[in-house]
Structure 1
Amino acid sequence: MKQLVILRHGKAEQDTMAKDDYDRVLTDRGNKNASDMGGFILKKWGVPDLILSSSARRAHDTAILAAQSLGYPQEEIRTDQNLYFAPSRWILNVISKLPDEVNRCLYVGHNPGVTELINDLGVRLDNLPTASAICFEFHIDSWADISTERAAFHWLKLAKEL
């Protein structure tokens, strides 16, 4: 069995003319929520085998804060620039290439792709709020076999509930 937790990055500063969207930083609330969600994930799910993140600063910073709360080594976070604003099918494609030794993956990404992915996996959601997480299970032995048809919803936690 494979498990995937999808975590939307924490609340980031608003777009500014001085900074590119890719380099936006987390707000104080975004930092706190990312850390708190990492703590929740640890209690609910345990430590992932892999944290996979968009390389955009707000997503990577969220992954780092969650990793710290999880006791996951920061240097082992895998980032991918292609996951920056990736659509659902691209995210699934990247996940399908994960090593089979990885049974639990925490993916940190952006809307609209994360909400699109959640909907494709069978949970109807208008919007996954910042620093919120959802878990799916797949009764497969290889990530290459991941599909929307094999997804089973496990849990959802909104940052505002922490």
Structure 2
Amino acid sequence: MHELILLRHAEAQPAKAGGEDQGRRLSGRGEQEAKAAGTWLANHGVKPDRVLCSPSERTRATATLALAAMPQAPESQIADEIYDATPGELLALLDQHDDAGTVMLVGHNPGIERLVALLVEGRSDEFRGMPPAGLAVLHLHGSLEPGSARLDAFWSP
């Protein structure tokens, strides 16, 4: 893998009383944010070879809407381990997909923002935040190790 796209899910509706967090849907604004993220990726020539997505409703919808903006985008693969994952758990998952040139991971905070910090800064406690539908494009220098990536682009709606 030489490029990693990290996309946080777009704005979701608040959880209903007694409702499951994984079932939260995107808000109307969130749908627009997800489409805008896909348009940004397409306009900048950033295209994933493989897409890994958390099983939650809001991440699946974010991935679907973002990928719809890209010509010949791959189908997203559901990866249960993304939901509520630590940066170390996300790294372990990504290690299993190092045969792909560009991987896009669609997930949640704090895991996504901490993974960006870990790969770029070398420490996962140095994160600066990742807004809903925010995305980071990282260029990897060799293996997935702390401090082994360069932040090529950061975008948020």
Give the TM-score taking structure 1 as reference length. 0.88
**Of 81, 85, 104, the match for 1:106:** 104
1:117 to 115, 118, 121: 115
Query: In structure 1, how many angstroms separate the alpha carbons of the residues matched to 2:154 and 2:55?
Result: 24
Q: Which amino acid aligns with 1:30?
A: G
In the other structure, the counterpart of 1:57 is 57
1:30 is aligned to 2:52: no
Contact preservation (8 Å) 1:47, 1:72: no
How many residues align? The count is 153
Q: 1:158 to 1:25 in 2, by over 3 A?
A: same
Distance 1:122-1:46 versus aligned 2 partners, 3 A rule: closer
Name the residue aligned to 2:145.
Answer: 147
Conservation of the 8 A alpha-carbon contact between 1:138 and 1:146: yes
Displacement over 3 Å in runs of 4+? none
Q: Percent identity?
A: 25
Distance between the aligned counterparts of 1:85 and 1:71, measured in 2?
30
**Secondary structure in 2 matching 1:85:** coil
Give how far 1:18 is off.
4.7
Counterpart position of 2:91:
92
Q: Which residue of 2 aligns with 1:11?
A: 11
Query: C-alpha offsets along residues 23-62 of structure 1, whole Å, 9 cap, x if unaligned?
Result: 1000000001001110101111332101111111101110
- What CA distance in whole angstroms lies between the structure 1 residues aligned with 2:116 and 2:109? 11
Q: Report the Cα offset of residue 73 of structure 1.
A: 4.6
Correspondence 1:81 to 2:80:
yes
SS at structure 1 position matched to 2:61: helix
Q: Aligned partners of 1:25 and 1:68: how far apart in 2? A: 18
Distance 1:65 1:14 in 2: 20
Alignment match, 1:67: 67
